[in-house]
């Protein structure tokens, strides 16, 4: 299975730029996990809601032009899986009306799979937003464990809005303690690792520096590669031998984030 995750920072804009079309043509993913779609189905073109090659599922925010997630599954792959279902509900997650979770479940080759496309909160708007971000982290961790306890294979992809270690952002000293690189957020990543979850790319690339997934566009951070690695694939450690490939697609334009691709046996 080839899975791509991408914070598109507005799916309609990425479509207008034809960058989404470029991604699909070049990589032909079985599953496309989207974050920050910033729209709802009634606003979308037929390409975004009736694509001839994909089934498309969305979880939109009630607030127009804000947040939202989605998952596409290729028709070819959907014909090979069983018990396919889509869900947007995670118990006790703050701001459930923001469409931050898209969850696709299915059975494939006698195994139960769960794909979670998640747009984690930034947490910078207010003290309440910050506290809700920390709660969101813990609730997602609990949900991942719940699925794992059911002997399911869980793949989490998305914009997690945290750089885990100093080598995951270009300027760690200048950002130490700030939102996105705060000890409380980084401690959540530590807890995941201690709980046998793995940042798949980092596990494959220990010590590698200068690889980022988000750049500040106004300051031309992408051109200078002054960025943050805040987009991830997470899997349970015991399933890492299934991973054939995991990469950041840094040449793909259209958003302030670049996509990630993972191939899983």
List active site positions.
159
91 phi, psi to nearest 5 deg: -60, 135
List for the chain the helix, strand, coil content (%; round to 5): 30, 30, 40
Cβ atoms of 141 and 188 closer than 8 Å: yes
Q: What is the CA radius of gyration of the chain?
A: 17
Tokens of 216: 């500040």
Task: Name the strand (E) or helix (H) holding 224.
Answer: helix 221-224
118 phi, psi to nearest 5 deg: -130, 135
Cβ atoms of 70 and 11 closer than 8 Å: yes
Cβ atoms of 233 and 215 closer than 8 Å: no
State how beta strands 231-236 and 153-159 pair: antiparallel
Q: Report the DSSP beta bridge partners of residue 25.
A: none
- Tell me which residue of 77, 82, 99 sits closest to 90, measured CA to CA: 99
- Tell me which residue of 191, 32, 185, 176 sits closest to 120, measured CA to CA: 185
- The sign of the torsion formed by the CA atoms of 90, 95, 97, 99 equals negative
């Amino acid at each position: 299975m080839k899975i791509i995750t991408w914070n598109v920072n507005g799916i309609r804009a990425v479509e207008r730029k034809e960058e989404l079309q470029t991604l699909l043509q070049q990589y032909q993913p079985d599953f496309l996990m989207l974050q920050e779609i910033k729209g709802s189905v009634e606003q979308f073109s037929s390409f975004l809601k009736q694509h001839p090659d994909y089934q498309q599922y969305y979880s939109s925010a009630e607030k127009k032009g804000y947040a939202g997630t989605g998952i596409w599954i290729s028709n070819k792959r959907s014909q090979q899986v069983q018990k396919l279902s889509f869900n947007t509900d995670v118990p006790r997650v703050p701001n459930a009306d923001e469409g931050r979770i898209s969850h696709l479940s299915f059975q494939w080759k006698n195994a139960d799979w769960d794909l979670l496309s998640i747009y984690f909160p930034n947490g910078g708007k207010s003290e309440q937003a910050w506290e809700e971000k920390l709660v969101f982290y813990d609730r997602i961790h609990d949900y991942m464990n719940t699925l794992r306890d059911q002997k399911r294979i869980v793949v989490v992809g998305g914009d997690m809005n945290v750089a885990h270690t100093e080598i995951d952002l270009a300027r760690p000293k200048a950002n130490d303690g700030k939102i996105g690189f705060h000890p409380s957020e980084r401690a959540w990543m530590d807890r995941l690792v201690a709980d046998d979850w793995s940042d798949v790319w980092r596990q494959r690339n220990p010590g590698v520096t200068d690889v980022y997934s988000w750049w500040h566009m106004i300051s031309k951070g992408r051109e200078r590669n002054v960025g943050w690695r805040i987009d991830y694939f997470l899997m349970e450690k015991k399933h890492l031998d299934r991973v054939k490939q995991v990469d950041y697609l840094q040449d793909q334009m259209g958003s302030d984030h670049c996509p990630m691709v993972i191939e899983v046996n």
